Amino acid sequence: MRRPWRPAGFVVLALFWAAACGGGIDKPSSAPLRILITNDDGIEAPGIVALFEALFPLGTVTVAAPRENRSGASHGVTSDKPIAVVESEKQGMKWFAIDALPATCLRLAVEALLPEKPDLVVSGINKGENLGTVTFYSATVAAAREAAFLGIPSIAVHAAGGKDMDYKAAAGVMAGIVRALGRDGIPKGTFLNVNVPALALDKITGVRITRQDTRAPIEFFEKTASPEGATEYKPSWKHHQPAGEDTDIWAVRNGYVSVSLFGYDQSAAAGATARNSIKRLEKLAWK
């Protein structure tokens, strides 16, 4: 049985329904936001176009994204070559196509392309969900993490695949979340990972604040042979069944928008007990 979702989830759900349907939700009371959009699917991907259209009413929106698809690059950076940038304009807003990995696209935009630091970075909309430990492989997540390194509130957003996958609906979800959070709604040292189920907007159950399912996905390697006779392995994977109703995987599988709060201090994630277990290493000496 599904547990009832929290009132906060209802507020966000109402907001993104209204945003997606063109409802009369006012802009945040503060000045319009300076929003930077990036992704890992490439600057021509339909998800980034839908996101731009949804966030355009909220302020000044700039797009800085890879020139082509760079999915699965994790937090890789481009540091071994000059980086080509092609600038264009859509609806009076600047778009930068960058020949680099997503984390570098984000850093280059903030450090060199924008006149001032953005108020918010939104990375996506990614084609396909990024849940559980798969988020470590995601370059969409990495771009949001890179922004958090720089002290910029950031959100990674993904649309789960399926016959009802709808970038416009997922973009409406994001517009509602951005409106609800306002300028300072994401704590320092953290960023958000949002996954939208492949459902029509009116079929989404609500919003869940979730934890990351920390189990590694189940990997498969199908052994085959190439035409030349070389042994090859075709990789694939799938998630485990959800570990609990508080996890990101459970939320999306049950029709909820999953919102996970991620930190980037990896030593903090280990916890005091784990650190104490290796305290004896401080007694080592080389003299």
Tell me how far apart the alpha carbons of residues 148 and 74 are, in angstroms, rounded to a whole number.
15
132 neighbors 53 (Cβ within 8 angstroms):
no
How many CA atoms, within 13 angstroms, populate the side-chain half-sphere of residue 18? 16
Give the Å distances, CA to CA, from 181 to 24, 29, 154, 161: 17, 12, 11, 26
**Residues 174, 225: Cα–Cα separation, whole Å:** 45
Closest by Cα among 248, 91, 258, 253 to 173: 258
Say if residues 252 and 216 touch (Cβ distance below 8 Å).
Answer: no
What's the rounded Cα separation, in Å, for the pair 155 and 174?
9
286: Cα within 13 Å, side-chain hemisphere: 1
Whether the link from the prior residue into 98 is cis, omega within 30° of 0, is no
Which pLDDT score is estimated for 31?
65
Residue 239 · residue 218 · CB < 8 Å: yes
- Give the domains, in start order, of the chain with CATH numbers: 7-215+243-283 (3.40.1210.10)
Q: How does strand 93-98 pair with strand 120-127?
A: unpaired
> What pLDDT score does 18 carry?
46
| Per-residue pLDDT at 81 | 93
**Given this model, what pLDDT does residue 30 score?**
53
Q: Which residues of the chain have pLDDT under 50?
A: 1-12, 14-29
Q: What is the pTM of this model?
A: 0.85
Q: CB-based contacts of 220: which residues, under 8 Å, 6+ apart?
A: 235, 236, 237, 238
Between CA 186 and CA 155 the distance in angstroms is: 9
For the chain, helix, strand, coil in percent to 5 are 35, 25, 40
Place of tokens 């609500």: 206
What is the per-residue pLDDT across 46-78, written as a single tens digit (0 to 9) for each?
Answer: 999 999 999 999 999 999 999 998 988 999 999
Query: How would you classify the pairing of strands 120-127 and 231-238?
Result: unpaired
